[in-house]
Structure 1
Amino acid sequence: MAPAVQKIALSASRDIPFNKLVLSQSNVRRLKAGVSIDELAEDIARRGLLQSLNVRPVLDDDGTETGMFEIPAGGRRYRALELLVKAKRLNKTAPVPCVVREARTDISAEEDSLAENAHRAALHPLDQFRAFRTLRDQGLTEEEIAARFFVSTAIVKQRLKLVTVSETLLNAYAEDEMTLDQLMAFTVSSDHARQEQVWESVQHSWSKEAYQIRRMLTENTVRASDRRVRFVTTDAYEAAGGIVLRDLFQDDDGGWIENVPLLEQLVADKLKAEAEAIAREGWKWIEVAADFPYGHTRGLRSITGTSADLTEDERAQREALRNELDELEAEYAEADELPDEVDARLGEIEDALEAFESRPVHYDPAEIPRAGAFVSIRHDGQLSVDRGYVRPEDEVAVGDTEGNTHGGEDGAGDPTGTVQRTVITIGGEQSGQDDDEDVVKPLPERLLTELTAHRTLALRDALASNPHVAMTALIHKLVRDTFQHVSSTGCLEASVRHIFFSVQAEDLKDSASAKAIDERQEAWQADLPTDDDALWAKIDGLDDASRMALLAHCVSFGVNALYEKANPYGAGPTTHGVQQRIHEADRLARAVGLDMVAVGWRPTVDNYLGRVTKPRILEAVREAKNEATAQLIDHLKKGDMAKEAERLLADSGWLPEPLRLAPLDADVAEQPDDETDTLPAFLTEDDEAEDEEQQPVAAE
C-alpha cells in the first residue's frame, strides 16, 4: 500500500494593529534599491497595501509570546506605513494584513527574508511597456502614468514608443533574440514592414548594432538639422502633412524628415517666393538652388553696390551698443560662466551690431536690368542672396549706349515703355512668373531631350535595318571629310562614335527600339570573334548581305538626333550645331521611313502629358480628335486632365512635334557655318518656361 502524501499547512493570516509590529534584525535587505520609501508610502496611500507582511511572534526570555510581532520580510512596506502614521494619514492602531509564521519553526527568519527577495521574479520590460499602453488606453495621460509609478514623463513616453514596434520584433525581444538597445533603435521608424525588413537583413549578420539599425531605417531620410529643413522649419513640414522620425532614446538632433519629396517641394516653393520678391528689384535673372557649387560665379562680372549711410541717431545707437558690449566683456572677463541674463544680453547686442554691418546695398539703376542674383540657403538655414552679377552676353557692346538696355524700374530704356520680366531659374529649369494658363509655352528642355532620345534610338534601329541608307550615310560622311574638310579626323579615317544619353526617360530602356537593338547586338556579338586577326577573317568571309547588315548596325550607333541646349561659352554644342543635327536627323528619318507610332511610342502622363502645361494637353487632344473633345476635359485639374488625355490619345497616332516625321517640303539645303538654318517651331523659342505645376528638376 502506497504511503499517504503529507499535506502542507500554510501559515495563518490575520490583521494586526500597526503599533503591535516591529522591524526584525533578521531582514537580509540592507541596501536601498528600487522605489524609495516615500514613493512607496504614496503608492500605499493611493491604492492600499497590495501584499501582506510576513511576521513572527516576539517571545520573551521564557519563550512566552509578548503580543508583539517582528517583520523579517516586508520591512520596506512597514517603513512606508510608518511614514503614513507619522504624517497622521494612518491610525497607529490600523489593522495591517499579515501572514503569521509560528514562533517555533525550523525555518529561520533570515531564510524567510532571503526567500521572499530571492524568489521574486522581476517584471519583464515588455510586460511593463504593454501595461503602460493598457493604462493609456484606459484614459490615463502620460503625465498621470508617470506620477502613479514615480518615473519621469520621458520614461513613460519611451516605454510607450517601444510598444509601437512591429509585433514580430516584440516577440523576438520577448524570446531574447534581440537586445533592448536593438529594440529601441527600431522606434525611429513607424513603418512595420520596413522594420521587419531591416531585422531580417541584420539578425544573422555580424553587424547588427543599434546604430547600424538606425542608419538603415533612416538612410532615405534627411536630418532635421539639414539646412533645407531649418529653412522651411519642421513646423511647416509637419503642417503640410510630413512625418518627423524621432529617437526618444538618444539625442537625435531634431530627428529625421521622412517625406523627402515633400521637403524638396516646400524648399522650392519658399525659395521661389523669395526669388519673386527679389525680382521686383528689377534684376534680369535670378538663379535659385538650395546650394550652388564652388565657382558658380566664375566668368561673371560683379558689380559693386554701396550701403546706405547711417543717420546720426543710428551712429549714436551703434556707439552705445559697442560701449555696453565692452563694459560687459570687461566685467565678466574672469568669470568661469556668464549669468543667463548677461549671456542673453550679449547675444542681443551682437545681433544688433551685425544688423548695422549688413545694411541693404544699393546698386546702379543702369546696371540692374542687365545683372542678376543667386538665391540659395546658408549653412545655418537662413536665406542667402548674392546680387549683382553680369553675364558676358548681357554686357553692353562697344559703341552702344546705356539707353539701349531695356529694363529699369520705369522701363526708361525700352521703346515700348514696358518693364522687363525677371527670368527665375530653379534647379536649372525656368519658372514662369505669370499665371496665364491659356498661353502655350515652349516645351521644357529636359522633356525635349528625353523625347529626342526616344527618336534617336528608334532612328538607330531603323537605320540598322536599312543597309542601303546606312551605306549612303557613311559614304556621305566620307565625301564631306575628303572634299569639304569639315571633319576634325584625318583624311583617310572614318569612325563611329557611340552616342550615350545623359538625359533619358525611365521607359526608354523598355522601348521596342531598345529591345530590338539589344537583341541585334547580342546576336552579332555571339557570332564575332574577339581576336583581331580572326575578326578580320570573319568579316572578310561574310556574304555581301551580311557585310551590309553588319555595317548598318555599326553605323547606327553613331546616330545622334538629340536636342541639347546650346552653350554660349563654347564648351559643348553650338546653336548652329544643334540646328544642323536636327536637320540631318529629319532627312535620315525620311530616308528610312521612321514612324514613332509604329515603333510603339504613345503619349502618357509620365512621358509627356504630365510634363507640359494644360494648353499643351488641350492642343494635343484638339489635333488628334477635335475641338469638341478638347472642350470635354478643359475644366479638369491638371492631373485629371493628363490622365483623361492619355486615354483619349491612346490609339490616335498623335505625336508631339519633336517626334513627328518632318515633311519633305520643310527640308532645306545645308547652310555654311556662318548662316542660320530654319528650325522647327519647338526650337525657335529662346526662352522656355516650365509648367508651374511641375516640381523643379535638378540641373544635369
Structure 2
Amino acid sequence: MSKIEATEAVAQRIEYVAFSRLMPSPLNVRKKSTSGIEALAQTIHERGMIQNLVVHDMKGSGNASRLGVCAGQRRLAALDLLIEQGRITKDYQVPVLIVSEGEALAASLIENREREDMHIADECVAFRLLTEEGRSVAHIAALFKIPEVVVRRALKIANLAPALLDLLREDRLDFEQAKALVLADDHATQERVWHEAVNAWQRRPAELRAAITREEIDARDSALARFVGLDAYEAAGGRVRRDLFSADEHAGYIEDAELLHRLATERLIALSQTVAAEGWQWTECRTRYDAMEIMRHGRIASTTRKPTKKEESELAELSAARDAAQAELDAYYDDDSEPDETLQERLEGTATAATYAADQYAERFETFDPEAMKQAGAFVYLDDEGRVCIERGLVRREATPGAQASAPPVGSAMANAARAPKERPLHGEKLCRRLTAHRTAAVQIELAQQPGVALAVLMQRMIPVVFDDVYARSYIDHAVKIELHTSRDALVSNADDMAGSVAWKALEGERAKWARMLPRRAEELLPWLLEQGEDVTSNLFAFCVAATVDGISSADRPHAVNEVANTLAVDLSRYWKPTRGGYFAHVAKDRIAAVVSESVSPQVAGELRGMKKDDAAAAAELRMTDSGWLPEVLRNREVPERVTYGYREDADEENGADAGTEADELSETQAGSNEEDDEPH
C-alpha cells in the first residue's frame, strides 16, 4: 500500500515549494529520533528528491504560507543537513503533496509504517490521535488492513502514562512490561507499580501483572468464572479488568469476588432444585469438590438400566467424538515436530470436553430405588474446570442407624450372653473404631512399601478360595472370584481427625501419584499394565493390596490386621499421637488423669483432676503428644485364635479318625460363634 492509496483524498497534485516554507508538523507520528540521515542527504544531493513529502497548511503558525511536513521526516532532516553544509540553498524546490489536517495523521502513520519501522510507542500514539479525531476502530483497521484487535491493543498501549511512554520509546521499558502495566487504566497506578518495582525481578511482566491484580481473580484459572461466564458476571454489574493481549477468551481479572461467588451459588441452587425433583430427600450444592466431605457419607445401591435405541445412538455419537478427539490428541503427542502449545491446549481441551460429555450422558442410565432415595440425597458441585458434577445416592452418617448385629438364634450361646450383664469396656465402640482406623492407616502405608509382604498377604487371602477342598467345606460357584473393597471411606468416616494423620497424608500422596500414571479409560488398563516394568507393577500391586486392608473394629480384641502389623513390625507411635481431639475428648476425666499418671507423673495427674474436662484434655495433650504412649486398643497386637474349617488328612493321621471328627465338630461350633461375634468389614 502506498501513502497515496492510503489517504482518503488524493485529488491534489504534486507541487514544488521552496524549502524555506517547510517545517516539522506536530501531526508527524514519529517522535523517536531518526537514523541514517547522512547517507540519505548524500543520495538527495546526487540524485535529487525522488519521493515527495506530504504536507499540510500550518494554521495558527503566524505565517499562512508555512507548510508542516507530516510524512517525510527523514527526508526533511536530510535537507536540513544539506542546508547546514551549504550544499543547497533555502529556495531549493521540494516536491510536496498538500493534504488536509484530517488526512495528515493517516498519511504520517502509513508513511512511517512503510519505511523505517516506527517505534511501537509512536505507532500506538498515532492510532490514539486518529480516534481523537473521530475515527472508529473499525475505520482504522480497514484503513491499514489490520485486525480490529490489533488497533484495540495499540490504543491500550497508548494509554500508558506519558512518562512510561517515554521509557518505552527509549527502550528502558519493554513491550511485555507495557502490556502488563496497561492492565491498570489510571496512570497513577501504572506509575506507582513501576516505581515500586525497584528490583529487576519485580519488573518481570508476571510480577507487574500480579501487583496490579493482587486482589482480583484471574478468570482463566477460576472454575467459578468459567461456570458463571464473564458476560453474565458483567451483566450483573461486575467489572472485569480485560487482558487484550491474551488470545484466551476467558482472559481478564474479576474485581468483585463476592458477586461472582453469589452468581455461581444461585445457579447451583437452581440446579440442585432440579436434582431434588428426582425424589431425593435432600440436595446440597458446593462451589468446589470436597472429597473429604463426600467420603464421610454412605451410599445407597444403584443399578444401570438398559438405554433406549435413541440413547444408544446418541451415546455412540458422543463416544465416537470422544475417541476421535483422543486420537487427535494422541497423534499430536506422537508427532516429533516442534511443540505447539496453542494447538496442544486446544486438543487437550477438546478431548477433556468430549470425555466429560460422554460420561455425563452415561450417568442418566444409573437408577436408584425410589424408596431408598427418600433416605438419601445428592451433592451438586463444580469441578476444577467449572463443569457441573452430581454425586447421587449419598446417605448422611448421622441420619443412618448405627450398625446393629443380627439377632442371634433363640437358645444360642450369644443370646444367653446378651442377657447377662455386660461390663462397661474401657473404650467405647466409637472410640475403638476411631483408634483402629488409625491402626489400619498405619498398617496400610507400611504394607504399601513392602511388595513382597503384600503379595504374601493377598495370597493368604486367595489360597483358601482356590484350594477350597483343603481349607473349607463350602464350595464357591465361580472359577475365579476375588471380592475387593477399599477401606478408604471407612477410615475417614470413623476418624474425623484422619486428614491430619501422617499415615493418611502418605497414603493420599501415593494414591495421587498412581492416579496420575494410570490410564483414564478402563479398557486401556490391561495393555498399560503389560507394558510396565516390574518395579512399577510390584509397587502398584503393593499399594492396591494395602488399600484393601481393613482393621477397623468396635471393640478391643484380637484382630487379623495384627498379623500384618506384627509381620511389618509397625511402630504405631509413629502414626498416632495422644491429642485432645483424637483421644482425650472422648474419655472421662478420670481416664485422662490415669493416663497422665501412668505416662508423666502422679503429681501432674493430680493437677488435672482439679480442672474442667476440656481444660484437662488440653493440658494432657501438651504433656503427652510426643510421649509415645498408646491406648490399650493400639497396644493389643494379639491375633485371633486359628480355627480349622473342614476335614484335614494330617489331623486324621496324627490323632486318629475319631479325634479328627471331634476336631471337626469343635471347629464348626467355634466357627459359628466367631461368625456371630465378628463385625462386617
Q: Structure 1-normalised TM-score? A: 0.39
Length-normalised TM-score, structure 2 = 0.40
Larger helix percent: 2
